[in-house]
Amino acid sequence: MVTKSGKYVPPKKWVWDKENGGKFANINRPISGSTHIKDLPVGEHPFQLYSQGTPNGVKVTIMLEELLDLGIQEAEYDAWLIRIGNGDQFGSGFVEINPNSKIPSLLDRSEKQPIRIFESGSILLYLADKFNKFIPKKFENRTECLNWLFWQMASAPYLGGGFGHFYAYAPEKYEYPIDRFAMEVKRQLDVLDKLLSDKNFICSEEYTIADISIWSWYGALVLGRLYDAEEFLDVKTYKNVVRWAKEINARQAVKRGIMVNKIKGNPSSQLHERHSSSDFIHKTQDKLEKL
């Protein structure tokens, strides 16, 4: 209810009687489950990824490309595009592998029974454990790596769902939530900047799944790729984070990983579906549009 003075007073009981406005209003619902029957496509590789190239999505494609760069052929994958803006995540096949209807979701078909993996942190950990890569072997170091992986999973919703939503996507700009979440995101950047002041990577001198997961959000932010907020958040002052973000950005697997399932930006940087390493050369949108 809105009073005469224009103030909103919450009703006794919330009811879903309208869309809440802003970008993504059409896909937000207060109920879970599928909205339509649709099977998922399946390719020939051990891993089937159903995703879009968002910060959570690219965590997985970067990890798979990193594993392939180590020569691990068992990490070969088909990446299928789930257009979340069109509601593909509510198709019955997708909901079967992720009842939470969010990308990324992965199916491992190399085991006796296919294994579904959802939640990007869980997917990174699954792949790290399965191939024994990008995760420290020593128990103490592994624990520190998981500290930061879980930190990212718990912190990013403040950056995305909080700051990003109110700064970039909400139908109007409101000072209160923007201040609240800008403050928190700057605090998180400061945590990372201090952490990286005396080490090259997040949890050790090695590059791990903690780096992949944090880079996909906070690296993208300081490199000016998220929400057009570089100046607003004065990201260049977090010098250690910028140095670390640039170093990871230069990795070949990262350059490829961020192209997969990407549907925005320069067509030559978008690979909507990936089924083979040669797709990066022949199947980007600029090439497909010329056919």
Ligand X SMILES: N[C@@H](CCC(=O)N[C@@H](CS)C(=O)NCC(=O)O)C(=O)O
Interface contacts to ligand X, rule CB under 6 A: 27, 54, 56, 84, 89, 101-104, 119-120
Q: Residue 119 Cβ, how far from ligand X at the closest point, in Å?
A: 5
Give the integer Cα–Cα distance in Å for 48 and 282.
Answer: 20
The Cα 43–Cα 215 span in angstroms is 29
Contact 236, 283 (CB under 8 A): no
Q: Which is nearer to ligand X, 57 or 193 (CB)?
A: 57
Give least dist CB 166 to ligand X, A: 16
Nearer to ligand X, 103 or 135 (CB): 103
Length of the chain: 291
Least Cβ distance, residue 216 to ligand X (angstroms): 10
Closer residue to ligand X (CB): 89 or 284: 89
Nearer to ligand X, 101 or 155 (CB): 101
**Minimum distance from CB of 16 to ligand X (Å)?**
15
Query: How many Å apart are CA 71 and CA 55, to the nearest integer?
Result: 25
Tell me, what DSSP letter sits at residue 232? T
Residue in the block written with tokens 């198709």: 91
In whole angstroms, the minimum distance from the beta carbon of 226 to ligand X comes to 11
Q: How is residue 137 annotated by DSSP?
A: S
Looking at the Cβ atoms of 89 and 285, the one nearer to ligand X is 89
Query: Distance of CA 260 to CAs 88, 162, 256, Å?
Result: 17, 26, 7
Residue 175: CB minimum distance to ligand X, A:
26
Alpha carbon distance 206, 199 (integer Å):
10
**Distances in whole angstroms, Cα of residue 126 to Cα of each of 97, 121, 129, 157:** 15, 9, 5, 22
Please list the residues that pair with 260 across neighbouring strands. 271
